[in-house]
Structure 1
């Protein structure tokens, strides 16, 4: 096999892995009511299925690079695909909600390494000049996954059973395993610095405790449990600061936060993604449970979001160059928050054209929001801190998805209990999540104006 064909095969392998991960993040959402009926569970209890997957990926993402250095990229990639396929099979065979949640954890262990290990394999095999083009190719797979996911999930549920949303990963994974074994270079392990297990444990304890506190039932007698879990999360987070200050190679250096836009961008990202991440979970549930949509119909209603998001990416560079990150994020955040609030107006009497317009607005603005937030958060980091900063940023992204689902589901339960109507619960939850997103605009006002000057200088060249 020639060097060029070997690189092409590598790109396809990584693209398929990225596609599986992106597909599985969205394909489950439209199937949740059907899964709930089959497992005799409440639909809102299905949030644990999403949270278990995303939280597991958040916990394990920092270790992916160390594992690749310690055991070799090829071996780790083979193991990650194998775990993902085994986890998918276990999900399909689950007979209770608890079994499905643990199966999703196993699936998340494999999914957490698919993209970062794939990027690393490309970085080591592809020359610097072709690296950007290679990443652009695999990013297409990441865009196709969310477009196909909701509709494919709805079709599987309506035409077959919900089990097929997981079984579809088996043939794809089998092809991936063969391709990795056949085409991925058999690299040797590299010298890896000692992994910071204690630091990773502290941050993991913080994220797990915080997520479990939000997932506790809303009954008053469980309030003490939630308070205790929040306290554990706070103590573990604060304990990391002195620990990292005195360790030579901590998981994340505290020097990262000396870059002002990194700190501001990280907090803004967390708030904004919490609000917007609730939408893919709450919207299909509301459409099926309150508006009477079929699984396929609700899945197709998510298409405008994904398509508009894909098409709008080409506008972001010109808009940022013209208005700067600070002004762009201030206005665009308001549009994202307003569109989330507008989902509360969805009803059988609302014209379809208006619903599609709201979905398109959210999809386009949310996609550009992610691109701008990613760029402004990471671009000021030095080359020394870039890897660590990107790893922490990835953790926050996955954590925000889980928190968005947990908080969104919790709000629906609280408002439903307060007003005795699930419909009111969904609508007020969208309003609250939109307000959370709008709050991130206040955070983005603290951005340093330097990125704006840099963007305008770049555009002038």
Structure 2
């Protein structure tokens, strides 16, 4: 692909003069690139969802209590916290395609190491290596797409990107159960190998070489300071969701907040910080980060709350729970083909407001679930919630980059990915804390259905607050990306009157 496509983040008015043959070629190009990047997202999502099913079996084979396997999970989180901020700078320095392929290879090496692990320390080390690859795959993959696709094609490209990745949570739980039952848990990690190899081959053949010409200074002090801050915050959120770790969690969260404050002071004094807080001054980016973060807190909470409620509150089996919770992912998958048309018709602002109301209402309805509800009604509510929540993420992910210039695209993807990971972890902490309020106030030790209802109402309220920021978007925000006819017509009228 030629360099002009990489620079093709051009106004929509230029796209009108593009020949139809060129448009068709670009459409095929962005779909191929999106699917290549999606292979990495699919691999990461599948790995995470399959792994949770196999933890008891892994603990037995490794001769360690299942609670100790949390070290393997948190080592992965640590790698994400440290290396996500560095992904944008590395992509600028060595080229986005090179770093993307390297990240996949690191993830594969870590997967092989996990499969070959004979002890807990070996598994922890392999998961850390896997996390280094995972930290760079998704933000650099998104950067590859952003730099290779014209803005007017961005919404459709992001829909193609997310659709295969959504298959991971759908396939993960049943596939994990089959592997643990009929094969060996080590095949969970071997599954990544063919997917990763196809991703590397596809990237080398289809993805243009973008970046690598500049030699930006690597912000080592900022890398260390942000890594320690984010690591403390992620571990703090992780521990806050578990019993008997409140004091340690509080110390980590306070330490992470203090280090984060020090980083903000440091970032004001350097020209190219590894995480650039001045990006928040770009209205569409800042509003997307805040609104998307509030919504992702709820997204992180729902997978934590639903399985517990169905198994502890309803008495459902793990297999039945997994089948029911798939409805949310199926609803999200159904939405992706509609998102470009909806955004073209109503624009980002109005669409995100309506989707935010619907999504929050869906989460609030989960608080009403009871064992005597028809399964079909529960499935319908979860599919409804997944549909509109996924629409919000498509909108937030697209409009965040609507007004980011090419020179700052790498910094923006790193910043955005960091907040994504942080708020998903915060969602689990929020859900766990809300779940414990009832037992703490009443002095009991057991969880009841009312506790789950209260927790769902809390996270639904948090999701609803995103509307305050969605309303601050300009009516024509992201019109170049969405092709919103009303905004483009208004812009044309203004030009004619001038």
> TM tier, shorter chain?
0.7 to 0.9
On the 8 A contact 1:30/1:295 being kept in 2, the answer is: no
Q: After superposition, what is the alpha-carbon deviation per residue over 1:130-165, rounded to whole angstroms, capped at 9, x for unaligned?
A: 996877655443233333223323333444454443
| Cα separation, partners in 2 of 1:323 and 1:187, compared to 1, 3 Å | closer
SS of alignment partner, residue 314 of structure 1: coil
Q: Is the 8 A contact 1:55 1:402 kept in 2?
A: no
Q: Deviations over 1:116-141 (max 9, x none)?
A: 444566788x7979996877655443
Q: Are 1:243 and 2:271 an aligned pair? A: no
Q: Is the 8 A contact 1:202 1:236 kept in 2?
A: yes
Corresponding residue for 1:435? 461
Q: Residue in 2 aligned with 1:444?
A: 470
Deviation by residue 1:389-427 (Cα, 9 ceiling, x = unmatched): 232112111222222233334444565565422344544
Q: Displacement of 1:328 after TM fit?
A: 3.4
Shift of 1:184: 8.6
Alpha-carbon contact 1:30-1:284 (below 8 Å) kept:
no
Bigger CA drift: 229-238 or 449-458? Answer: 449-458
Query: How far did 1:17 drift?
Result: 2.8
Match in the other structure for 1:304: 327
Q: Which residue of 2 aligns with 1:339?
A: 362
Match of 2:176 among 153, 156, 175: 153
The one of 89, 92, 95 equivalent to 1:66 is 89
- 2:422 corresponds to which residue? 399
Aligned to 1:259: 282
Residue 323 of structure 1 contacts residue 452 of structure 1 at CA under 8 Å; is this kept in 2?
Answer: no
Check conservation: 1:154, 1:299, Cα contact below 8 A. no
Q: For 1:40, which of 65, 77, 81 is the aligned residue?
A: 65
Superposed displacement of residue 366, structure 1: 0.7
- 2:445 aligned with 1:420: yes
Aligned partners of 1:403, 1:297: CA distance in 2, in Å? 27
Match of 2:13 in 1: none
TM, length-normalised to structure 1: 0.80
**Separation in structure 1 between the aligned mates of residue 144 and residue 401 of structure 2, nearest angstrom:** 22
8 Å Cα contact 2:304/2:428 also seen in 1 = yes
CA 1:50–1:22 in structure 2 vs 1: closer, same or farther (change >3 Å)?
Answer: same
CA displacement at 1:263 relative to structure 2 = 2.2
Task: Please state if 1:362 is matched with 2:392.
Answer: no
Q: TM-score, normalised by structure 2?
A: 0.74
Question: For 2:220, which of 197, 200, 217 is the aligned residue?
Answer: 197
Q: CA deviation at 1:353?
A: 0.8
Provide the aligned C-alpha RMSD in A. Answer: 4.2
Distance 1:346 1:155 in 2: 29
Contact 1:82 1:110 in 2 (8 A): yes
The 8 Å contact of residues 159 and 336 in structure 2, kept in 1 or not, is answered as no
- 45, 59, 69: which is aligned to 1:22? 45
Asked if structure 2 preserves the Cα contact closer than 8 Å seen for 1:51 and 1:405, the reply is: no
| Aligned-pair CA distance for 1:352 | 0.7
Could you say which residue in structure 1 is the equivalent of 2:310? 287
Aligned residue among 100, 118, 129 for 1:106: 129
Q: Which position in structure 1 is the counterpart of 2:104?
A: 81
User: Is 2:234 the partner of 1:234?
Assistant: no
More displaced, 133-142 or 309-318? 133-142
Partner residue, 1:458: 488
Cα-to-partner distance string for 1:39-94 (whole Å, 9 max, x where unaligned): 5346xx97776665456335423323433454566764554334323332444466
What pairs with 1:314-325 in structure 2 (closer than 5 Å)? 314-325=337-348
How many residues are aligned here? Answer: 455
Inter-partner Cα distance in structure 2 for 1:145 and 1:220:
29
The offset of 1:207, in angstroms, is 1.9
The CA distance in 1 between the partners of 2:52 and 2:432, in whole Å, is 13
SS of alignment partner, residue 349 of structure 1: coil
Change (3 A) 1:28 1:416: farther
Aligned counterparts of 1:363 and 1:219: Cα–Cα separation in 2: 26
How many Å apart are 1:236 and its aligned residue?
Answer: 2.1
- Report the 3-state secondary structure (helix = DSSP H, G, I; strand = E; otherwise coil) of the residue aligned with 1:28: helix
Q: Which structure 1 residue ranges, 5 or more long, are not aligned?
A: none
SS in 2 for 1:246: coil
Moved more, 312-321 or 256-265: 312-321
Shift of residue 347, structure 1, vs aligned partner = 4.1
Report if aligned partners of 2:159, 2:339 keep a CA contact under 8 Å in 1: no
Does 404-413 or 185-194 show the bigger shift?
185-194
Q: Structure 2 unaligned segments of length 5 or more: list them.
A: 1-24, 493-498
Query: Structure 1's 422 and 325: CA in aligned 2 closer, same or farther, altered over 3 A?
Result: same
CA gap of 1:303–1:104, structure 2 versus 1, over 3 A, is: same
